[in-house]
Amino acid sequence: MTEERKQGKFKNPLSLQIKPDLFEQASEEEKAQQVTMRESVSFMKDAMRRLRKNHIAMISFWVIIIIALIAFIVPEFYPYTYTKQDVSAQNLFPMQYSAKEQAKIDKGQSVFPHIMGTDALGRDYAIRVIYGTRISLVVGIFSALIVVVIGIIYGSISGYFGGKVDMIMMRIVDIIYSLPDVLIVILLSVAIKDWVSGSKSELIARLGAGMVSIFVVFGLLYWVSMARQVRGQILSIKEQEYVLASKAIGASPARIIRKHMVPNCISVIIIIAAMQIPSAIFTESFLSFLGLGVSVPMPSLGSLASDARTGLRSYPYQLIFPALSIFLIVLSFNLLGNGLRDAFDPKLRS
């Protein structure tokens, strides 16, 4: 660069006179400045890198993947089903065979072992625990989805339009927030249970009162914290210049919310969704334990633990397996949730 340009000694900054030295070949030094030292890191990539460094979160992630694979694949080729009763094989201990099965083995036939024993009706316990785990995962993930969808839509509308709309929408959120959620879930399950038993819809009958009411209640009540957080984010993003630019070009509010605002709230959304999953699993198992959950013979981890109470002294394994499964699932989701929070929002790190 020439001395003249550095000092800004142009006669007239608006002059159209072309300076020939602007077309000089760049020196090696100047070229070196243009070389990108490393790839630019997007926010998502940066967060994922931080997450991968967090061993506890990664272990939890893989535990969840393994549990999910077992829960969704194993029942497809497992030799027992969760409904099949065998009167001669009641309350077998893990890896124990009934007299009938023992006779078969003695004859040289192979019998698949009851890895976790059988229950009081002679049903294989392992497959029941696996099915219960599947229910828990489905409830957790679908509830999180419901919360994400409603929370984002509600929160972004409230935050984007602001003013009176915002005030009314947030008052509603305040009121919903102060309702005692678990009591309302129980109340709705009681009511829905009655309605489900009379309903002819096969899907609803299969899901059971607890599942239906959990989804209804998550749709009605649980999205409020998500909506609050999304609104908070939107309020600050709204003031950014690129939103103004987008508005100036003539983009519709829906497009601005979808293209500019929601992607910028992604960390809040991921963190809250991850925290929602274990709480939904907790609620479902609690309802099933009270007898308001899935309908028989479908097992759930809560109903398995509840049924295990009758023979607790003699067959403690019937409690231990579902209890262990629910503990492992909730623990892994909690730890993964903490890892995600640390990775996506370093400011929140405690």
Q: List Cα–Cα distances, 246 to 58, 87, 89, 152, in angstroms.
A: 39, 70, 69, 20
The answer to whether 59 contacts other proteins (rule: CB under 8 A) is no
The answer to whether 308 contacts other proteins (rule: CB under 8 A) is yes
**What is the per-residue burial (b if ≥16 Cβ within 10 Å, else e) of 234-267?**
beebbeeeebeebeeeebeeeebbeebbbebbeb
Residue 334 C-beta: closest distance to other proteins, Å:
6
Torsion sign (Cα): 234, 237, 239, 241: negative
Residue 19 C-beta: closest distance to other proteins, Å:
55
**What is the per-residue burial (b if ≥16 Cβ within 10 Å, else e) of 336-350?**
bbbbbbbbbeeeeee
The answer to whether 216 contacts other proteins (rule: CB under 8 A) is no
Residue 284 and residue 136 in contact, taking contact as beta carbons nearer than 8 Å: yes
Residue 57 C-beta: closest distance to other proteins, Å:
13
The answer to whether 199 contacts other proteins (rule: CB under 8 A) is no
Q: Please count the other Cβ atoms lying within 10 Å of the Cβ belonging to residue 329.
A: 24
Residue 193 C-beta: closest distance to other proteins, Å:
9
Q: 138, exposed or middle or buried, with CB in 10 Å at 0-12, 13-18, 19+? A: middle
43, 62, 112, 195: residue in contact with other proteins (rule CB under 8 A): 195
Residue 261 C-beta: closest distance to other proteins, Å:
27
178, 200, 203, 250: residue in contact with other proteins (rule CB under 8 A): 178
79, 162, 253, 316: residue in contact with other proteins (rule CB under 8 A): 316
Among 228, 224, 156, which residue's Cα sits nearest to residue 184?
A: 224
CA angle, 335 then 71 then 151, to 5°: 55
The answer to whether 346 contacts other proteins (rule: CB under 8 A) is no
The answer to whether 191 contacts other proteins (rule: CB under 8 A) is yes
| Measured distance CA(289)–CA(299) in Å, rounded | 11
Tell me whether residue 169 or residue 326 sits nearer to other proteins (CB atom): 326
Residue 181 and residue 253 in contact, taking contact as beta carbons nearer than 8 Å: no
The answer to whether 184 contacts other proteins (rule: CB under 8 A) is yes
The answer to whether 175 contacts other proteins (rule: CB under 8 A) is yes
89, 130, 188, 269: residue in contact with other proteins (rule CB under 8 A): 188
First to last CA, the chain: 49
Residues between 267 and 286 with contacts to other proteins, criterion CB under 8 A: 278, 282, 285-286
Residue 55 C-beta: closest distance to other proteins, Å:
14
Tell me whether residue 98 or residue 288 sits nearer to other proteins (CB atom): 288
Residues found near other proteins in the complex (CB under 8 A): 174-175, 178-184, 186-188, 190-191, 194-195, 198, 278, 282, 285-286, 289-292, 302, 305-306, 308-309, 312-313, 316, 319, 323, 326-327, 330-331, 334-335, 350
